[in-house]
Amino acid sequence: GASSVVYRTSPEQVVKCCRPGTLGEIEHERDILERLGEHPLIIKKFEREDAGQLILQYHPRELRDLLLSGTHIHLEKWALQITEALAHVHAHDIIYRNFNLSNIRIQTSQDIVLCDFAGSSLVGHTQMGVRAEVRFCRLPYHSMATVQDDLFSLGSVLYELSTGSVPYATRKDKDVVRLYGIKKFPPVCNLPIGKIITKYWNESYQSANEVLLDLV
């Protein structure tokens, strides 16, 4: 990424090192992960670290790459697990913010794991420099992210998981901003979880826990 470089150091671990001038971002991510604690759907952080480094569990399969490869997708299972992971994040007063399939990896158990908390922030605090991709971004954009921002982004994540492409994949970013601004979203009526995606985009949910009730 722009603020760090990742090296694989063993079959089970990678080291995420800060680039010059970005020590604060690595330390911020360390603080977020320590606040979250251990959870089966959140990237594991190991304790043996130096300043400016994070030692993390290695998971080679990125969900977006897996989707593009044509591998079988466990849609309902992964939609539920992604939402469970987000509920855990929000329960610790953290806004994830940088939601997209590149930040979700697949474990050997075929369970998801949520990664990359460099752009996350505490509820009520201005976020770090990272922001969601435009197709995953609730409008209007605010520097102080909220639970609703994450829930909107998750709608776009589940759309990509369901269809194999991001919302309005062939449109220019400025067109997506205009369409989102008037609450016009891609059709989802034929998707297995289309009603849930619509409720995400229309801000009908107040929490990830509400979504879990619709998914189970």
128/44 same-domain check: no
Tell me the pLDDT tens digit for each residue of 27-81: 888 899 999 999 999 999 987 667 778 889 999 899 999 998 888 889 999 999 9
pLDDT on residue 128 = 54
Residue 54: its H or E element: strand 53-57
For residue 189 the two structure tokens come to: 């009526």
10/69 same-domain check: no
If one compares 93 and 144, the residue with the highest pLDDT of the two is 93
27 lies in which domain range? Answer: 4-57
pLDDT on residue 3 = 63
End position of a domain, from candidates 12, 31, 57: 57
85/163 same-domain check: yes
pLDDT on residue 163 = 94
Tell me the pLDDT tens digit for each residue of 99-133: 889 999 999 999 999 999 988 888 877 655 556 68
Mean pLDDT of the residues in the chain = 89
Tell me the pLDDT tens digit for each residue of 4-24: 788 888 889 999 888 876 677
Q: How deeply is 189 buried, as exposed, middle or buried, from its count of CB atoms within 10 A (0-12, 13-18, 19+)?
A: exposed
143/191 same-domain check: yes
End position of a domain, from candidates 17, 38, 57: 57
End position of a domain, from candidates 38, 57, 76: 57
Specify the pairing of strand 13-18 against strand 53-57: antiparallel
Instruction: Give the integer Cα–Cα distance in Å for 89 and 84.
Output: 9
Q: Which residue has the tokens 């800060």?
A: 18
203/124 same-domain check: yes
Does residue 195 have a pLDDT over 70? Answer: yes
For residue 119, the domain's CATH number is: 1.10.510.10
